């Protein structure tokens, strides 16, 4: 158990819809990272937050947004969903400089 | 050319064999991660290293900073080691992780 929690575990929705994925980092970790892993693809970095502030942005679509709240949990919002958004979404946390610890992931299926 | 290259892409071996997975990178790094992704999708961090060698059970990771190369070794491999092994480097310029494509390992009983 990495100490990082993600909810929900599975999510099935339709094209055009909007969903919110939630991540709670390990106790004491200020940094949260979001990654997308499409079928048979490597992990794609989406965005990083550090202590509530956006620190780095990767290949995140404009339809996607994220935020980190004062209690350090983070949410990834995906809107106007397309079939190609079906993927595993991972959250990871760290103290900002060292090892990242991964959550179990949320499997999103867009039908 | 990818900034992080892993080899081999796929590896099938018999139980008990000594396994080596390689990772080469072309950027300046502050650390290198080895991670394991199980068939169910979960990701486990195996090692983070910035120099030398680390050992945990049957797993050994080494890094040569001058040659920009790291290896992950598995001794006495077991079918439960079957997974995708991913190398990721933490860039020293912006502390972002750059991922290798992964090595799919299958250990046959």
Q: Please give the average per-residue pLDDT across B30-57, as a whole number.
A: 89
* Structural contact between residues A54 and A75, judged by C-beta atoms closer than 8 angstroms: no
Q: Please give the average per-residue pLDDT across B63-86, as a whole number.
A: 96
pLDDT for B71: 98
B16-30 pLDDT tens trace: 999 999 999 998 898
Closest to A56 in 3D by CA, of B77, B95, B44, B109: B95
Q: How many CA atoms lie within 13 A of A64 on its CB side?
A: 17
- For residue A106, pLDDT beyond 70: yes
Residue A56 burial (C-beta neighbours within 10 Å; 0-12, 13-18, 19+): middle
A1-38 pLDDT tens trace: 889 999 999 999 999 999 999 999 999 999 999 999 88
Residue B8 falls in which region: left (phi positive, over 0), alpha (psi -120 to 50) or beta: beta
pLDDT for A38: 86
Instruction: State whether B42 and A102 contact (CB < 8 Å).
Output: yes
pLDDT for A97: 66
Instruction: State whether A48 and B86 contact (CB < 8 Å).
Output: no
Instruction: State whether B42 and A101 contact (CB < 8 Å).
Output: no
- Chain B residues contacting A via beta carbons under 8 Å: 30-31, 33, 35, 41-45, 48, 86, 88, 94-97, 99-102
A50-105 pLDDT tens trace: 999 998 888 899 999 999 999 999 999 999 999 999 999 999 999 866 778 999 99
Residue from the list B42, B43, B45 with its beta carbon closest to the beta carbon of A99: B45
pLDDT for B1: 64
Q: Please give the average per-residue pLDDT across B68-89, as a whole number.
A: 96
pLDDT for A74: 98
Q: How many CA atoms lie within 13 A of B106 on its CB side?
A: 5
Scanning every residue of chain A, which has its alpha carbon at the shortest distance from the alpha carbon of B96? A56
Q: Which of A10, A100, A104 would best serve as a mutation to test chain B binding (most B beta carbons within 10 A)?
A: A100
Strands (E), chain A: 5-7, 10-13, 19-24, 31-37, 43-50, 53-57, 64-68, 74-78, 87-94, 101-102, 106-110
Closest to B99 in 3D by CA, of B45, B58, B19, B56: B45
Scanning every residue of chain A, which has its alpha carbon at the shortest distance from the alpha carbon of B43? A102
pLDDT for A59: 80
Average pLDDT taken over every residue of chain B: 92
Coil, strand, or helix at residue B81?
Answer: helix
- For residue A40, pLDDT beyond 70: no
């Amino acid at each position: 158990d990495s100490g990082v929690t993600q909810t929900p575990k599975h999510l099935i929705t339709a094209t055009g819809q909007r969903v919110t994925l939630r991540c709670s980092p390990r106790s004491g970790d200020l940094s949260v990272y979001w990654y997308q892993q499409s079928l048979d693809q490597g992990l794609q970095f989406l965005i990083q937050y550090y202590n509530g502030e956006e620190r780095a942005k990767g290949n995140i679509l404009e339809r996607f947004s994220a935020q980190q709240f004062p209690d350090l949990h983070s949410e990834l919002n995906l809107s106007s969903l397309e079939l190609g958004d079906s993927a595993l979404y991972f959250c990871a946390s760290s103290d900002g400089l060292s090892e990242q610890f991964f959550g179990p992931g949320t499997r999103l299926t867009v039908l | 050319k990818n900034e992080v290259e892993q080899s081999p892409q796929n590896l099938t071996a018999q139980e008990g064999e000594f396994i080596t997975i390689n990772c080469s990178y072309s950027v300046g790094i502050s650390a290198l991660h080895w991670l394991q992704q199980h068939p169910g999708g979960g990701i486990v961090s195996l090692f983070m290293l910035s120099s030398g060698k680390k050992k945990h059970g049957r797993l050994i990771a080494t890094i040569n900073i001058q040659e920009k190369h790291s290896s992950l070794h598995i001794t006495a491999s077991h079918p439960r080691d079957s997974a995708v092994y991913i190398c990721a480097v933490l860039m020293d310029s912006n502390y972002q992780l750059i991922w290798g494509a992964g090595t799919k390992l299958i250990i046959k009983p």
